[in-house]
Structure 1
Amino acid sequence: MKYPQNFCHPKLYDPSGERVSESEEHGLTMLIDKGIGLALFEELLQFAGQYVDYIKLGFGTTMLYPPELLKKKLALAKKENIALYPGGTLFEIAAHKGVLREYFEYIERIGFNHIEISDGTIELPYRKRRKVIQEAVAKGFTVITECGKKAEGSHLEVKELDRTLYSDLECGASYVIVEGRESGKNVGIYNEKGLIDKEFLHDIEKTIAKDVRKYLIWEAPQKSQQIELIQFWGRNVNLGNIQCEDAYNLECLRRGLRFDTFPLNRSETILQIE
């Protein structure tokens, strides 16, 4: 998380008192870029780049870019210290077609430093998953993995996430994404209406230690999901698959600059008039 110089009272800049602090845990924000143009991308980074850590090129869109335009996007992101990376679907295509070596070579040649490894669509045996993560790390990539299937009606098991998280981190992954897709409905931790399985969250809280849970990134494309995850895990929860236009909205939710997460404290006077 990167914070700009600000000249207002800190209680206005961060009403929660939890977002802007000396703590190392600032809560990562990952946006999903579904193919916005260079001008809009640059404008996004100018206005919201300080509140963004990762930008995923959604699905397999990476392959549709002319290489020079893709390199320009990468350069803009790196200038703002933001990690731009291809979505996991592209990795899965490469694995399914047997061209992983060529895939690694291509994204390295383009200039990517980060890679997502997932098996949301394909079957990736446990040993193969570990081996691929280790190979990517050995090649110098920062690896982000994903846990969960993309098919509608696919829901995570606590044991599955627990095992995957510890295994992937052991192999060198930096973070593990909890599948939620772009829709946030009827997949992962969400039901067909997009509501969160709170029992699952409570089980994760009891099963996975806090110092390990901090390596989870929860895909939460809907505002209601972002609010619930902030209320459950705290303002500095890692959130992903945020729409580009919602970067400011999410940061406002984190800080209490929106009604939904307004930092009311009954022990404080809400309005003081001198």
Structure 2
Amino acid sequence: MNYKLNNIPERPAKPRQKGLTMVMDKGLSLRQVEDFIDVAGVHTDIVKLGWATSYVTPNLKEKLALYRSAGIPTYFGGTLFEAFAIRNQFDDYRRVLEEFGMEYAEVSDGSMDIEHDKKCDFIRKLSEQVTVISEVGSKDAAKIFAPYKWIALMKAEIEAGSWKVIAEAREGGNVGIYRGTGEVREGLVDEILTQIPEETIIWEAPQKEQQVWFIKLIGTNVNLGNIAPAEVIPLETIRLGLRGDTFDYFLNK
């Protein structure tokens, strides 16, 4: 940090298991990636190349190399996995991961229906090759799961080999763990936390109000995902009590 302030919450050093900031790259150019790393790389734990943008992204290997040189892991969005899975090209997907030197992969079923046993089998197989992040929840706002189902799905995927499970919200933060207005489904989150260790969950929280809510509920070192590149520095100030939303929240803790 640039100067000393007392009563600032502690942040674990990278690489860390909790307090993760997962950034959504929806198509940054190489120059934009360089600028992003220069400004916010130190506060970024992992970058997702959103949904299947990697399929059409120019200079993909060069982009991945930039992140790699900065020590920031990357992975392709779960929709890309689903695009391969629905076409019965799972082995091709594994070869793509190898070709591009990917060390992480996301397994999701937000856009297609997959029997959960089969999804867990995908997780088990991929976890032999890479670190797996799986996602629970649908991108369809009409599909609302009861809390017990979220818990059962998360438990099974962790047991199958997922390093972290993502609580779905999409890039807009208006499905899954949120209502259509972006409001947190508080009862759902509370129920999940009674059974699933908070450090194993990445809560998608693209909106500032959602980030503030989770930081106040769980603490500075909650795992948050789908953060826009330009919002990494603002999020870090919220984590540290240096923005109005959490300004006095950590002073006496």
Superposition TM-score tier, normalisation by shorter sequence: over 0.9
Q: Name the structure 2 match of 1:110.
A: 100
AA aligned opposite 1:239: L
Alignment of 1:120-135 (within 5 A): 120-135=110-125
Matched residue of 1:190: which SS? coil
Aligned counterparts of 1:90 and 1:49: Cα–Cα separation in 2: 25
Aligned counterparts of 1:75 and 1:174: Cα–Cα separation in 2: 23
Q: Name the structure 2 match of 1:9.
A: 4
Q: Name the structure 1 match of 2:36.
A: 44
Aligned counterparts of 1:99 and 1:265: Cα–Cα separation in 2: 49
Deviation at 1:166, TM superposition (A): 1.7
What are the Cα deviations for residues 82-119 of structure 1, in whole angstroms up to 9, with x where unaligned? 11110000100111011111111012101211110000
AA aligned opposite 1:8: Y
How many residues end up aligned between the 2 structures? Answer: 252
Aligned counterparts of 1:117 and 1:201: Cα–Cα separation in 2: 21
AA aligned opposite 1:49: G
Q: Name the structure 2 match of 1:149.
A: 138
Q: Name the structure 2 match of 1:162.
A: 151
- 2:71 maps to 1:81: yes
AA aligned opposite 1:182: E
- Could you tell me whether the CA contact under 8 Å between 2:241 and 2:250 is conserved in 1? no
RMSD of aligned C-alpha atoms? 2.0
What are the Cα deviations for residues 129-174 of structure 1, in whole angstroms up to 9, with x where unaligned? 1111111111x21100000000123334221221122211212111
- Could you tell me whether the CA contact under 8 Å between 1:71 and 1:111 is conserved in 2? no
- Could you tell me whether the CA contact under 8 Å between 2:123 and 2:162 is conserved in 1? yes
- Could you tell me whether the CA contact under 8 Å between 2:8 and 2:250 is conserved in 1? no
Task: Pick closer, same or farther for the CA change 1:20–1:215 going to 2, 3 Å.
Answer: closer
- 2:204 maps to 1:204: no
Task: Pick closer, same or farther for the CA change 1:267–1:110 going to 2, 3 Å.
Answer: closer
Task: Pick closer, same or farther for the CA change 1:265–1:10 going to 2, 3 Å.
Answer: closer
Unaligned runs of 5+ in 2: none
- Could you tell me whether the CA contact under 8 Å between 2:133 and 2:165 is conserved in 1? yes
- 2:25 maps to 1:33: yes
Q: Name the structure 1 match of 2:247.
A: 262
AA aligned opposite 2:95: E
Q: TM-score, normalised by structure 2?
A: 0.93
Unaligned runs of 5+ in 1: 1-5, 269-274
Percent of aligned pairs sharing the same letter: 36
Task: Pick closer, same or farther for the CA change 1:26–1:96 going to 2, 3 Å.
Answer: closer
